[in-house]
């Protein structure tokens, strides 16, 4: 058993090499003896709505039908405003020409005097003051290009980081009803060290027999898997090359909900270095894949993420990597997930140092507290991690793994872990992310609440077993 929350209902599932919900997935046709070179996920077909009857076809005696937008985000056709043309009737009136001529002459003389007065004050020499939009965007009066900060940031980030984003093609064999046949897959990744170190998703490369890494400049290099992360869906790939462009690393813990983020990758395995943008929709999300693998502490974003984007970088407006694009919610639009770069950083450093990838291990099953759970269970605090049994009710697993570092340190079922090395365990600093900052073999202090009292324990972290998921 691992240091993870008990499995809850899935918020979402991955769409790369994981199956969709069978209840919502159309039946597949018979397998073809030769698979497509780059498999992509099934895409729902879209049928446009019936067009409304053209206005020109309506008889003048028929009343006009009001136009209603089909979707809330589609504005109704604009209604013309201003002067409505009117067809005047001509009437014969004696003496009208003299009156009209006198009126026109008076108007011309008056307007001429007004022009002279304005010219004397210099009013006609001033340029029109530019209008400013609510967001601070300056709108020119002479059809000049409009400068939008977010657009400029996206353009700058794409130009700066795209050279470090790679396309990864994997080769292997697939077991089908007709036998074992060759199969390929496509994902993304990014170079974080100039000597050829690349970060990507575990599900992009796991189980592959060969790797090809295509650089932004068109070069294709042979790659190898240096290591698979035992904590979350990450892997390190190595290519033999030097002086490669790299992506700068940011700090994901400082992200704010609503902040601009940019995703770069190879959607559908075809459109390399595609750029999409959106915002941070939420932080600290947990999803459960269809093989019961739990992915925790994810960044939720509405930046478009499609199959083939997996492993590509999620960037802030400065062009720094803040996450690794990993998953999308099934049967949804604009719900994608990325692994925070803070969680990935320790194994990235291990790889560059030539070390095997290893994660720290405590040996407890826990649930991250929130106010609702704390009140329902009459707990004294609403932040922290409560140590409770996991697994299904008919086959529960122990809250503390026998013989684990937690067991040896004296952690008990029902303890609420509130601090690790002085860092409070809360929604911004969950237990597994806090532990990920340490290395196997490190000694940490753990504060727990037990029966209304605070107990401080000393715990030496072990190495997380490779077979654990979640």
Active site residues: 203, 233, 310
Alpha-carbon Rg of the chain, whole angstroms? 32
CB distance 408 to 415 below 8 Å: no
Q: Which residues contact 225 (CB under 8 A, 6 or more apart)?
A: 205, 208, 211, 235, 236, 237, 238
CB distance 416 to 399 below 8 Å: no
Tokens 């029966």 — which residue?
A: 451
Task: Take residue 23 and report the two structure tokens written for it.
Answer: 């209840």
Strand partners, 197: 193, 238
Q: Detail the DSSP E strand segments found in 308-452.
A: 313-315, 321-328, 336-340, 360-361, 366-368, 385-387, 416-420, 423-424, 443-450
CB atoms within 10 A of CB 400: 24
Q: Helix, strand or coil for residue 365?
A: strand
CB distance 436 to 360 below 8 Å: yes
Q: Which helix (H) or strand (E) holds 236?
A: strand 235-239
Q: Detail the DSSP E strand segments found in 392-450.
A: 416-420, 423-424, 443-450
CA angle (318 as vertex; 235, 314 as ends), nearest 5: 30
In 3D space, the residue among 18, 7, 29, 14 whose CA is nearest the CA of residue 332 turns out to be: 14
Burial class (CB in 10 A: 0-12, 13-18, 19+), 438: middle
């Amino acid at each position: 058993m691992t240091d993870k929350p008990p499995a809850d209902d899935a918020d979402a599932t991955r769409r790369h090499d994981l199956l969709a919900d069978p209840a919502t997935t159309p039946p597949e046709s018979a397998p073809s003896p030769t698979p497509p070179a780059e498999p992509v996920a099934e895409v729902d077909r879209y049928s446009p709505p019936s067009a409304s009857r053209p206005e020109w076809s309506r008889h003048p005696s028929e009343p006009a039908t009001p136009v209603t937008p089909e979707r809330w985000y589609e504005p109704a056709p604009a209604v013309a405003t201003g002067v409505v043309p009117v067809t005047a009737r001509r009437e014969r009136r004696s003496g009208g020409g003299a009156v009209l001529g006198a009126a026109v002459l008076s108007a011309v003389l008056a307007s001429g005097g007004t022009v002279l007065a304005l010219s004397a004050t210099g009013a006609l020499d001033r340029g029109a003051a530019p209008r400013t939009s609510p967001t601070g965007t300056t709108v020119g009066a002479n059809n000049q290009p409009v400068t939008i900060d977010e657009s400029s940031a996206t353009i700058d980030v794409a130009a700066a980081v795209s050279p470090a984003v790679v396309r990864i093609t994997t080769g292997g064999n697939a077991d089908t009803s007709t036998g074992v046949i060759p199969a390929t897959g496509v994902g993304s990744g990014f170079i974080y060290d100039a000597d050829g170190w690349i970060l990507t998703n575990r599900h992009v490369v796991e189980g592959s027999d060969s790797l090809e890494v295509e650089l932004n400049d068109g070069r294709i290099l042979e790659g190898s898997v240096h290591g698979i992360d035992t904590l979350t869906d990450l892997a390190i790939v190595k290519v033999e090359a030097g002086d490669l462009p790299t992506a700068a690393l940011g700090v994901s813990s400082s992200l704010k909900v609503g902040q601009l983020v940019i995703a770069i990758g190879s959607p559908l395995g075809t459109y390399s270095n595609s750029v999409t943008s959106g915002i941070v929709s939420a932080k600290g999300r947990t999803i459960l894949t269809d093989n019961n693998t739990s992915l925790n502490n994810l960044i939720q974003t509405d930046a478009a993420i499609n199959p083939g984007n997996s492993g590509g970088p999620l960037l802030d407006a400065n062009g720094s990597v803040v996450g690794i694009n990993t998953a999308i919610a099934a049967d949804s639009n604009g719900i994608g997930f990325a692994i925070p770069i803070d969680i990935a950083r320790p194994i990235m450093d291990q790889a560059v140092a030539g070390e095997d990838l290893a994660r720290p291990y405590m040996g407890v099953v826990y649930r991250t507290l929130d106010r609702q759970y704390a009140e329902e269970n009459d707990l004294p605090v609403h932040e922290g991690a409560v140590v409770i049994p996991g697994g299904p009710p008919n086959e529960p697993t122990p809250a503390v793994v026998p013989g684990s570092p937690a067991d040896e340190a004296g952690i008990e079922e029902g303890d609420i872990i509130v601090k690790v090395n002085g860092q409070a365990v809360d929604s911004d600093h969950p237990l597994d992310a806090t532990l990920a900052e340490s290395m196997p073999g490190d000694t940490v202090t753990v504060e727990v609440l037990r029966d209304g009292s605070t107990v401080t324990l000393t715990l030496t972290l072990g190495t997380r077993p490779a077979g654990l998921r979640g």
